[in-house]
Amino acid sequence: MNLFNAGLVAVFAPLVAALLLFVVQPIRYNRHLAGGLSALGALASFAASLTLVALRMGGDPAPAIYESTWLPEAGRSVATIGMHLDGISASMLVVVSLVALCVQLFSLEYMETEPDADFGRYFTWQSLFLFSMAALVVAPNILQLFAAWELVGLCSYLLIGFYYKKPSAARAALKAFWVTKFADLGLLIGLLVQYGAVGSVGWDPATVTAMQATGSVATVVAALYFLAVMGKSAQFPLHVWLPDAMEGPTPVSALLHAATMVAAGVYLIVRAYPIFLAAPSVMLAMSLIGGFTALFAALIAINQTDIKRVLAYSTCSQLGYMVASLGAGGLFGGYFHLATHAFFKAMLFLSAGSVIHAVHSNEISHMGGLSRKMKLTTFTFITGAAALAGLPGLAGFFSKDQILEALLEATEHNTLYWAPFLMCLATVGITAYYMSRVVFLVFFGEPSEHAHHASEGGIAMWAPLLILAVPSIAAGYFGSAFLRLTGIEGEFHVNHITPVGGLAFALAFGGIGLGYALNVLKLGAGLGTALKPVADFIEYGAVDRAWLAGYRYGMLALSRGFAWTDRYIIDGLLNAIGASVLSIAEWVRGLQTGRVSDYVYVVMIGVVCLAAWSQLVSLAGGVQ
Amino acid sequence: MIFPILSFIVATPALAALLLVFLPDEAKTAIRAISVAASAVALAGSIYVAQAVMALGPAQFHFHERYPIIPSLGINYIMAVDGWGASLMLLTGLIIFAGSVASTTLENRPREFYIFLLGLVAGVFGVFVAQDLFVFFLFYEIAVLPMYLLIGIWGSTGKVESKGPFAWAMNQLDVGGKEYAAMKLTLVLLGGSALILAAMLGMYFAGGHTFDMGELAKASIPPNLQWWLFPALWIGFGALAGLFPFHTWSPDGHAAAPTAVSMLHAGVLMKLGAFGVLRVGMVLLPYGARDWAFTVGTVAVINILWGAMSAMAQKDLKYIIAYSSVSHMGVVLLGAATLTVNGWNGAMFQMFAHGIMTGLFFALVGLIYDRTHDRWIPHMGGFANIMPFIAVFFTIGGLSSLGMPGTAGFVAEFLVFLGAWQGPHAWWAVPGAVGALITAVYVLRGIKDIFWGAGPPPQFAALPDARGAERVALVVLGTALIVFGVWPRLILDLIDAATPLYLSAIVATQAAGVTP
């Protein structure tokens, strides 16, 4: 299979599945066909992506671009639609399709209790999502990336709102769409600015050189693109939609809201990196916002009582790492962390799904002692948590180390980078703390009454967990191969512990020790309780409320003003004109009384007036 | 002599209407069959013309027909079609086909209804292919006037409370009634027509006593005269396109109108207004267009935001869609005002995209209203559970309206904003894009309030989903939205080839310096 065909299969196999499911009702309503077709699409996409990687590893390092004009402007092309196949897009396709495949297999059992129609709908959106995400990954320019970006946002909206009968899910879906759509204004306007300035929507060297030559264009464009990234990749203060997005089914949270879709923002930065490099001030802002998000979200995660919300905030936090790294010039670290995080976070979410499936609750307090009943899930969750915390040897350790190294290196030419570096470093310890807290509370200690009858799911549930465990453990050892495949400049050493790595390692262990002390030994139990109101205030009292107030008292109130003015002033004036014409007509009609005497009076008055007038005229003539 | 395909397409609905005059009222099946058949023929003809024009070269005019009407006054019946005309004929064909199929469920006097409907469509087709200003205007009036009767007879009446500084006038006029809505619509549009007529006569006398649009484009109408004529055409045609502040006929008119009439009116008739501004105002009066572009564009931006913000506050389903039309027609006018290739392509494409989208929306609203006899959104909820088919297509329409990539709405808005950014007033693009965001807010909130939630209220629990003919209309329009959104070049290549030629006169004026 050549590159082009492999790319086609990777992108379009899921689309074929989605279209068949969407159009042909009998397929959609047959749960074996629906689930099977969707998983088959994901499997084909995964196989084709692996082929792509194999072809890219051996072949020519230059990207292979296949494109065709999508929008014409006086015969020439404004933008193309097509595929940009290189090491970066091929590796991302593997990540996306593998996680999607695992999630879909898992869903076969997890969603079993749904009615046929909903089951089919679920897999339709799953397939549509995989297509959209693949189209985003292979986009040859920012316009196609933007189009696919909106489509994955649509799938996110549809899947968050999967339980559309539930008001909280409906609200969460709207919130996710609105917040990200608001941020997407940045991408849209950025595209206009870029095209207006240099007549191209690409990120090729010629375009970037032209942007640098036109003064501040690169800075403006990069800043606008970054606004969209903040929405999609849930950076403070646009992260508010992500925790609420947990209203969707857990496998959806694993695929869209942890591993792939939310990483689209990071992927945009990776793709359009030359543009960002040309805007140093935006890079610094990225690093600061990323670092702050990492720390802030980790702090919020400490006190969450819902296992999915802990993971959601941890996703925010890890995305913050990636963004901070990219802002500091750490392209490889940021992108590598995207890949490793996708694997272990998807595994964590699916493990959480397995737990939720067993105890029928998201609340951590309803779990406990599950290690005795669900050994496999305990293993995968702890592995994922350890990878997330950055314990040595696991995938997260290597990628996080790359990030911290990059941030430290950036401090050498700009001391302001100390801020993101320190925030990210502190987050290592906090992450280890909140993950160990979840592990201790969920899998150890005394089981709650909900947890008594918990048991491991079937093969469709545990097999994907095991598949994902492989890269979560081993991905770090393929760092060098990954570096070669993507063609990013950088260094990678598996068996070389840096001072920063050692420090992070110490912090992680400190965090776990603290987690053990506070949650198992119950030392200083009052501390968490005392901090909770503070954290809740920051999150729900301030940030979330500010958005809500902006919507309710800004937009809605304003719209009522507009509608009132439209109805009662603008249309009112038109009505006033109409009514006045009617009134005048009414009055004029009153003159036609039909009584002869009235007419005689008018005639006599007229005669008198005329006589007076002629008299006046002759007098005036006389004076002259 | 070659077959006069354009006159054939215009005449088909007109002849069908004539045929219906002689049918008895009771022959409802025959009436419906004839109407649907006539619109199917018109649609097939439009598809044929579109692909033929594509093959022959959309930059030139094809299928010429020319017969003198009043030679001494220079009035000729001239028909010809290029890429612009062909794309809008295709739109009209799609909408009238879907509209007549959707109206087959109408029980109240279907004969008269179809007579007016088909007459109106003949006018619309005529406008898009007439190349003589006099004939253009004639068709324009044929298209606009049946609306009065269609709303006045088959419309529905709402209630609007009299408030505000002009409450006295509202009390006097029975605001909200269908007769009121029909009257307001007709008077505003006739006022516009008066302005158009005056401007047309000005062009006739200054342009060498001809109504031939090809001749008029070459005639050098003095720039200072153009400065006076252009606003007359802009406001005259613009009134039909929902131009702020002359748009208030639209919400009341569309709310009162029956389904197919709203579909045609918002779907196609409003485009006649925008097409008039572009094809007659801007192309024939390049100096006027250049000098008034800033005003036109700025008012268009107001249109976009005003319509969207007003739509957000509505609770009546039809009013939401009607105000959103005001907003989206602002996008067309904005594209026109940019005087760039992308802007004009976008304006033409938005006419097409919005036409199909609004047609779909009003078809859906009609289906919902037929079932519930209620348009008040707070009374609804959970409809996806009982009418999933309607819910899916409503969502597709909604996504196109908020500019979701993969639907035609995205292509149109993106091109218009791109054109705006390339034009002299780049900032227009920003409120334009914000308008799309506001649309996302009110459209998705509407979808949530109508379709999402646990089960419908008890009084609506037994309502059926879309059936047979109704599904046909929805599928035709919904599929078109997606097909043209995924592969816009099906239409855009037609439009794009013709645009630079139309624009060239304006480009020339830009070199010519300021009007004294």
Task: Give A63's DSSP letter.
Answer: P
Kindly determine whether residue B309 and residue A563, on different chains, have CB atoms separated by under 8 Å.
yes
Task: Return the percent helix, strand and coil in chain B, to nearest 5.
Answer: 75, 5, 20
A323-373 tens-digit pLDDT: 999 999 889 989 999 999 999 999 999 999 999 988 888 888 888 788 888
Question: Does any CB of chain A come closer than 8 Å to the CB of residue B57?
Answer: no
Peptide bond into B245 cis (omega under 30): yes
Run of H or E residues at A256: none
Residue A397's pLDDT is: 85
Query: What are the angstrom distances between the C-alpha of B504 and each of A71, A74, A399, B282, B339?
Result: 21, 12, 57, 11, 10
Mean pLDDT of the region A143-155: 94
Kindly determine whether residue B496 and residue A178, on different chains, have CB atoms separated by under 8 Å.
no
| Residue A94 token pair | 């593997």
Rounded to two decimals, the ipTM of the complex is 0.91
Q: How many CB atoms lie within 10 A of CB A345?
A: 29
Picking from B175, B312, B437, the nearest residue to A559 by CB comes out as B312
**Whole-angstrom Cα distance, residue B92 to residue B98?**
10
**Whole-angstrom Cα distance, residue A405 to residue A409?**
6
A531-541 tens-digit pLDDT: 667 767 766 66
Q: Which residues of A touch B170 (CB under 8 A)?
A: 572, 575
Q: Which residue is closest to B415 within chain A, CA to CA?
A: A71
A28-57 tens-digit pLDDT: 888 889 999 999 999 999 999 999 998 888
Picking from A72, A568, A573, the nearest residue to B489 by CB comes out as A72
| pLDDT cut 90: percent of chain A above it | 41
Our CA-based measurement puts residue B26 at a distance from the nearest CA of chain A, in whole angstroms, of 38
Residue A527's pLDDT is: 62
Picking from B169, B388, B437, the nearest residue to A579 by CB comes out as B169
| Residue B442 token pair | 């009110």
Alpha helices in A444-498 (DSSP H): 459-474, 479-486
Among B401, B421, B475, B484, the residue to mutate for chain A (most A Cβ within 10 A): B421
Q: How many CB atoms lie within 10 A of CB A591?
A: 9
Query: What are the angstrom distances between the C-alpha of A552 and each of A549, A559, B439?
Result: 5, 10, 16
Q: Which residues of A touch B451 (CB under 8 A)?
A: 164
**Three-class secondary structure of residue A30 per DSSP:** coil
**Whole-angstrom Cα distance, residue A320 to residue A318?**
5
Q: Which residues of A touch B426 (CB under 8 A)?
A: 192, 196
Q: Which residues of B touch A562 (CB under 8 A)?
A: 306, 309-310, 312-313
Question: Does any CB of chain A come closer than 8 Å to the CB of residue B484?
Answer: no
Kindly determine whether residue A558 and residue B170, on different chains, have CB atoms separated by under 8 Å.
no
Kindly determine whether residue B170 and residue A572, on different chains, have CB atoms separated by under 8 Å.
yes
Residue B403 Ramachandran class (φ > 0 left, ψ -120 to 50 alpha, else beta): left
Kindly determine whether residue B164 and residue A570, on different chains, have CB atoms separated by under 8 Å.
no
Q: Could you tell me the pLDDT band of residue A525, with boundaries at 50, 70 and 90?
A: low
Among A24, A558, A571, the residue to mutate for chain B (most B Cβ within 10 A): A571
Picking from A167, A196, A556, the nearest residue to B421 by CB comes out as A196
Angle at A406 between CA A400 and CA A412, to 5 degrees: 145
Kindly determine whether residue A555 and residue B312, on different chains, have CB atoms separated by under 8 Å.
yes
Stretches where chain B sits below pLDDT 70 are 1, 512-516
Q: Identify the bridge partners of residue B67 per DSSP, sorted by sequence position.
A: B77
Please determine, for residue A524, whether its predicted confidence score (pLDDT) is greater than 50. yes
Question: Does any CB of chain A come closer than 8 Å to the CB of residue B341?
Answer: yes
Question: Does any CB of chain A come closer than 8 Å to the CB of residue B489?
Answer: yes
Q: Please give, one letter per residue, the 3-state secondary structure of A262-300.
A: HHHHHHHHHHCHHHHHCCHHHHHHHHHHHHHHHHHHHHH
Alpha helices in B207-316 (DSSP H): 213-218, 223-240, 249-256, 259-264, 270-276, 283-284, 286-312
Task: Give A373's DSSP letter.
Answer: T
Residue A528's pLDDT is: 63
Kindly determine whether residue B421 and residue A563, on different chains, have CB atoms separated by under 8 Å.
no
Picking from A157, A195, A569, the nearest residue to B164 by CB comes out as A569
What residues contact B249, with CB distance under 8 A and at least 6 apart? B181, B184, B185, B188, B189, B239
Task: Give A82's DSSP letter.
Answer: E
Mean pLDDT of the region A508-532: 75
Our CA-based measurement puts residue B249 at a distance from the nearest CA of chain A, in whole angstroms, of 8
**Whole-angstrom Cα distance, residue B266 to residue B247?**
12
Kindly determine whether residue A196 and residue B418, on different chains, have CB atoms separated by under 8 Å.
yes
A295-323 tens-digit pLDDT: 999 988 888 888 999 999 999 999 999 99
Angle at A156 between CA A36 and CA A114, to 5 degrees: 45
Which residue is it, tokens 């909408």?
B95
Q: What is the CA radius of gyration of chain B?
A: 22
- Rounded to 10 degrees, the C-alpha dihedral B53/B54/B57/B63 comes to -10
Which residue is it, tokens 């909206």?
A157
Our CA-based measurement puts residue A569 at a distance from the nearest CA of chain B, in whole angstroms, of 7
**Whole-angstrom Cα distance, residue B285 to residue B281?**
6
> What DSSP string runs through B26-92?
T-HHHHHHHHHHHHHHHHHHHHHHHHHHHHH-TTS-EEEEEEEEEGGGTEEEEEEE-HHHHHHHHHH
Q: Which residues of A touch B175 (CB under 8 A)?
A: 575
Under a CB-based contact definition with an 8 Å cutoff, are residues A476 and A394 in contact? yes
Kindly determine whether residue A70 and residue B489, on different chains, have CB atoms separated by under 8 Å.
yes
Run of H or E residues at A566: none
Q: Identify the bridge partners of residue B65 per DSSP, sorted by sequence position.
A: B79
Q: How many CB atoms lie within 10 A of CB A266?
A: 25
How far, rounded to the nearest angstrom, does the alpha carbon of residue A429 sit from its chain's CA centroid?
26
Residue A475's pLDDT is: 84
**Three-class secondary structure of residue A336 per DSSP:** helix
Residue B162's pLDDT is: 81
**Whole-angstrom Cα distance, residue A361 to residue A447?**
13
Nearest to A45 by CA among A147, A148, A134: A134
**B residues 148-177 closer than 8 Å to A (CB):** 160, 163-170, 172-173, 175
| Residue A510 token pair | 């400190």
Under a CB-based contact definition with an 8 Å cutoff, are residues B50 and B5 in contact? no
Under a CB-based contact definition with an 8 Å cutoff, are residues A158 and B452 in contact? no
What are residue B4's phi and psi, to 5 degrees? -75, 75
Kindly determine whether residue B309 and residue A170, on different chains, have CB atoms separated by under 8 Å.
no
Kindly determine whether residue A568 and residue B430, on different chains, have CB atoms separated by under 8 Å.
no
Mean pLDDT of the region A169-198: 92
**Whole-angstrom Cα distance, residue B256 to residue B152?**
9
Residue B516's pLDDT is: 42
Alpha helices in B374-467 (DSSP H): 388-401, 408-422, 429-451
Our CA-based measurement puts residue B486 at a distance from the nearest CA of chain A, in whole angstroms, of 9
Which residue would you say has higher pLDDT here, B9 or A476? B9
Residue A59's pLDDT is: 65
Among B185, B444, B465, B482, the residue to mutate for chain A (most A Cβ within 10 A): B444
